[in-house]
Structures are given as C-alpha cells and as structure tokens.
Amino acid sequence: MELTSKIQRTNSEALFNEAKQYFPGGVNSPVRAFKSVSGPPLFIKEGQGCRIIDEDDNQYIDFCCSWGPLILGHNNPGIRELVVETVAKGTSFGTPNRLGNQLGKLIIEHNRYIEKIRFVSSGTEAVMSAIRLARG
C-alpha cells in the first residue's frame, strides 16, 4: 500500500519566495534549504511541547528540538516564566552580570576538562579569542 498524502505548504512557499529577496537561497543556513528533499522549507509559526506547527497549520513532531537547546520541548511553562522574568530586567547590557557568573559556574562544574570559559557575541570574537590564546 502506497501512502500518497500531499501536505499543503502554500503559505510556507509564499514566505520562502519572499525570503529569497532577503537571504541567499531564501534561508539563513544551508541546513534549512530543503533542496535535497524538494519543495519549500517549512516555515514554523508555533511550537508546544514536542510538536511544531507550520504556517499552513500542518503539525509535526519536532525531532530536532532546535538542534539541542529545547530538550524540555517548545514553550515549556517553567522556562517561559523564567525567560519573561529575566527579560523584564533587560535584554543585553554589554557588561558582566550575575547570570553570566551562574552560567559559567554551571558549565565548569559539569565539565571536568574546562578550567575557564569565555562567552562571546560572535564567531569572529570567538576566533579572535582563540588566536590570542594560541599566541600566548
């Protein structure tokens, strides 16, 4: 028996065509291009738990979970509340802060091979730090 269910992706296709005006290939990463599977990439509008919903209201199980960070699922109530509470205090300061210390401590305490850590804002800044370290 052959399954021939055709999923409607009209809205995703329209958004993809618009995105081609702004982004090379219409996407922000070659991973999202969908060229190897044909058709437009999925434009996701919502996620709840392990499920995501695209702009055409098709529902999927999200096996990627944003490539790892969403281990507790989309829109987890506890995480959402903490994010809202934290954002209410400001989104970026460009200076050291208590939460940076807490995150650094958490990472170092759970990775026995890491002695020090540096958070940076871009890949360029990360490479510059690595070059400085190598030169030292």
The encoded tokens of residue 132 equal 């400085």
Q: pLDDT tens across 20-36, in order?
A: 999 888 888 766 666 66
Q: Give the distance, in angstroms, between the CA of residue 71 and the centroid of all CA atoms in the same chain.
A: 12
Name residues whose C-beta falls within 8 Å of residue 118's C-beta, 6 or more positions apart in sequence.
129
Q: pLDDT tens across 41-71, in order?
A: 889 999 999 999 999 999 999 998 888 788 8
Residue 93: pLDDT over 90: no
Distance from C-alpha of 118 to C-alpha of 103, rounded to nearest angstrom: 11
> Rg of the chain's alpha carbons, rounded to an integer?
20
The larger pLDDT score, comparing residue 19 to residue 34, is at 19
- Please give the pLDDT value at position 45: 96
The larger pLDDT score, comparing residue 103 to residue 122, is at 103
DSSP string, 9-57: -HHHHHHHHHHTTTSGGGSSSGGG--GGG-SPPP-EEEEEBTEEEETT-
Q: How many CB atoms lie within 10 A of CB 11?
A: 16
Nearest 5°: phi and psi at 13? -65, -40
Against a cut of 0.85, is the pTM above it? Answer: no
Give the model's confidence band at 3: pLDDT under 50 very low, under 70 low, under 90 confident, else very high. Answer: very low
- Please give the pLDDT value at position 94: 83
